[in-house]
Every structure is written in C-alpha cells, then in structure tokens.
A and B are shown apart, each in its own frame.
Chain A
Amino acid sequence: MNNLTNQLMTKNLLKIDYEKYSHPNGLQVILYPDLSIPVVAVNLWYRVGSANERNSKTGFAHLFEHMMFQGSQNVPKEGHFKFIQEAGGSLNGSTSFDRTNYYETVPANYLELALWLEADRMGFMLPGLNQEKLDNQKDVVMNERRQRYENQPYGLAWEKLFSNLFSQDHPYSWPTIGWMDDIAKFELDDVRKFFEKYYSPSNASLVIGGNFDKSNAKDLIEKYFGEIKETAAIPEIETSLQSLSESKKIIYEDNVQLPRIYLAWHTVKAFHEQDAVLDLLSDILTSSKNSRLHKSLVFEKQIAQDISSFQYSGNLDGSFIIASTAKPGITLEKIKDEITKSIHELISNGITENELLKAKNNIKSAYIFSLQKIDLITDHINHYNFYLNEPDSFLFDLSRYEQVTREQIIDTAQKFLTKPNVELNIIPKKM
C-alpha cells in the first residue's frame, strides 16, 4: 500500500462508523452520523430496476419512479418537491438496470419530514394514484426520452448497442427509459401490481448520513416505517449466459455531421475480480492526454475528434465500450484499425509501471474528491450494501484497484477485447 492509502487509513477517512440493522418488516437501515456538517441526507434504494421488466413492458421501473413523486395518501401531487424545497433541501430519484433510488438532503432539523415523506410513499402510495397523474407522467417521460435521447446527436447509440450485445430475452437488452411504444401503453393496473410486488420494505435499504442523533433516528424510523407491511419475497432474475459467437456490425444513420464508432464487448458484472482491472484498463486507454488511444488518435495522428471508453457493469452482467468520433474525411474503418492495433500492441508489449500508477492515482483521487458531499457518501453506502452486503466497503473498493498488476491488465485485455464484439457505426444521413 502506498503513502496515500496509509494516510487515509490513519486518518480514518475511509473507515465509516456505521450501524446496520433490519426491521422486522425487512427494511434494512444503515446509520452514519457525521456531526461536522449542518445537513442530513436520506437515501433509499429499492431492489428493482429495468432488469425486472420484460419485453413489451419496458421502461416501467423508471416511469414508476416518476409516479412516486405524484403524491401518496397524505402527500399531494408535487408535494414531495414542495415540502423538501420549502425546507431548503434538495431531492431526486434515479433508475438504473438494477435499482431505483430516492434521496433528499435537508437541514439537520428536517430529518423527520424526509422520513415522513419516504414512508408515506413506501407504505401508502396507491391511495394517491389516479389516471390523470399517470397520463401526465407518461407524457413527461416520453418527452424525457425525446429530450435526452431522440433529439440528441448519437443519442440512440446506447440502446442500439445494448439491444445487439444482449439477447432479446436478457433484461439489459432494452434501455432503462424504455421503448416509446411500451411507455405509451402502461395502465393504472401496471402501477398497482408493480408497487405491490417491488415496493415492500423488505426490498429496500435506508441510509441516513450526516447531522443526526442515532437513537432519535431509530425512534423516527420505527414510528414511520414500523407498521408498513412486507410483501412476498421477489424471485431472483433468471438470465441466460451471454456471449457473441461472432462479431456484429450495425450501421445507423442519424442527424450528425461526423461519424462515430462504438465497439462493445461482453465482460464481467460489478465487483467481479476483473471489474476493477477493466476500469484501470479504460483509464490507461482513454482517460487523459497521454492515455494510449487519446495520444495516438486524437493528439498525434489527429484522425479522431474524441475518444472515450468505460467498463459498464451491473448486477447481472457487464460490458466494455470504446467510442470515438472520426475527423472529417476519416473513415470509421481507419479509426477501428488504429484502436485494434493499439489494443494488440498493449497485449503484446505490455504497459509500464508508470501507466498503471497514474491510472491508480487518478481513480483514487477522484474517489476522495467525491467524499466531499454527504449525498454521494450515503449513495455509496447503499451501493456497497446492495452489491456487497457490506456498507463499509470504501477501503475494500480502493484496494481492489491498489492490488492490480501489469500482468492482470494484459491478461484481461487479451481475455475480453480480442473476442467478438458489437460494432456500431453512427453515420450522417444521406441527403
């Protein structure tokens, strides 16, 4: 372990002093007081995301997240925003493949308000529901889909990639926002069933972080969440093993001036042994001016306008993606050849100790910088609890990167990036 990690350990920066327990109704609670700040963050994860959907019903977990802001038995439509903002707090929710989260950060004296609001929609959402609200939020979500994806250059790239990388029955094959036709068709009954199945306290974990008193918080949690009944356990999602027997190439015409290439490979799920290795590999390939692909394609040869890569990993599976925009007059074939050449060179000639060290330092500092905000810390805690069943995994997470060797980087690149892939070309529309 190097100097920085030592320093962090001695100062106990990454050792969080938390308490975790479960309510009789199954709700997991994690308390992390930090009295040095004036606010308290409430962060709630439900173990449901778009991976729990099925074909023809895509996008529902996300639409449902919107419905959770439409009021409940004792909270009017938009009330959630109104109450929290009047208290000077901030709030939102988000949906991914694997989970849905809801969070609010409020001044320390408003903890009870946040818990009251979260409990009302966890336990008593359905009495607040009506057709008008659902129709309204379907319109809002369809506009979200247009604004964030359809009306953006290259905006449909991700769904084109994932629907080709994963087989049609795999839940990562459709986008979290859902297909437009599916969003348009949802009915009130879908909301009721989804709520009853997935929004049980036994399917949720509640993290409170920041300025609060632990025993008071426990009393409040008992008061507001104690009587909410749990529903039947949710069966695990069953998926087939994903692999490509041969490479696929998809060409899509879009409103773009410059063509862009995406290459995607199957890799490993979150926190798998090679997950951190792939993060470091991505850093070595594209994170900085001196990273291999950036230096070669953008800086020296100047054939690409930009290049990026990432290991995207979830609960069920993962994928490594490289994306690059060609300069005017440069073919995507040329870009692809250079990327392939660079990867082969890395595999045959290895990487330097310096390259690896820079990548590790980069990941470590970004990690420490993120600890400045209590809402991010509480979300991290829920993240670790979700994937590792251990909230205090900050040091473990960093050590995953610390231990990676040069050989592992090469082996991992060899293992995944030489296999068949999905190649997506987004090209300018023909006039």
Chain B
Amino acid sequence: MSENVEKYIKRKVYKSTSSRIAQKFVDAGLEKIRACINCGTCTGSCPSGRRTAYRTRSAIRRALTGDESVLKDIDIWLCSTCYYCYERCPRDIPVTDMIIKLRNIAVEEGYILDSHFGLANDIFYATGHGVPATGENNKKWRDLRESYGLPPLPPTVHSYPEAVKECQELMNAVGFRKLLDNAAKLKEERAQAAKKDKEE
C-alpha cells in the first residue's frame, strides 16, 4: 500500500468513533479495517461460509459499524483460519488477523464458548499443553507412546513441572489468568440475568 493511501486511512480512521469495536481495532494498530470496500472476496474464498452461516464480509462490516451483536455470534468461531481471505483481499487487509482480533474482543467481554473456556482454563493453563497426555484418562496415549519405543511422556512441560510454573507465571503477568477469570464472571452474570428474566 502506498504511503498516501496509508495516510488517508489513518486520517479517516475513527478518531471519535461511535463504534467501540472499531476503536479497539484502531488501538491495536489494525486501522486497515477502514480500507474495506465490502467487495466480498473474503466471503467468496471462505470454505467455512460454504457450509455455515459465517460470512466474513459481514463480520468485518458489523465490527466496523459498531454492531456489537457480532461479538456474541458463534459464527465468528467457525473461521478455520485458513487465510484465503487474508491472501486474496484486494485491499490488502489482513482479514484473518481481524477475525482473530474480533475474537479477542469477544473473549474480553465474556463471549467465549464453554468448550473453549475449558480448553483454555482446565487444559492449557493447567498443563501447558493444548492436548495433554497426563491424567488417568490419557493413560492409553502414554502406553501408545511406549509401544513405539518412546518414553511415556515427551520431554516437554510434561516432563518438567517447573516449566509449567514458568508458563503460568508468564500467563499471569501478561493478563491471561485475569482475562479468563473475568470472562467466567461475565458469563456467570449473564447466565444469572437470563435465568431471572425467565422467572419473571
């Protein structure tokens, strides 16, 4: 992108935007979202959109215009991050990175699926692996390793308890622990409110 276009986009970017979400993109240095011309190349390239209601163009549009319903839409979690939209965007917008950022904002506001929360909290934070081999349930995988002549646990965090602590210390410092706790709290509050609504 030429320097002039870059400047133009920066100037036009939501300095006093009414869209909280768009502002977060700008704050994260992703002001290129403003360059979107809604052409739909992203949606047309999307293997997820072929079979689901996920529409990349629409998600980006809603984020840009401040339609906050996009944050609670499960569709944004159906992007498999295959990067076709990113590669083919004629405006050079890193579309997949935008979707990733949009998900970050959703999690920040407590919109995270139970299965994803469990994966982040009970597995990744607890063990340092996203797919672990520890615990009684995973004995068959340790046995399988041994059957191929490998030690039952790999030389990763699984073999170095102090490395798990290191990872947790990093995750605490960078705000991951707080993010998860906050998401859990917001989810719980919403569930309570919904229950109350139902009772009334």
Q: Is B one of A's binding partners?
A: no
**A interface residues with partner B (beta carbon < 8 Å):** none
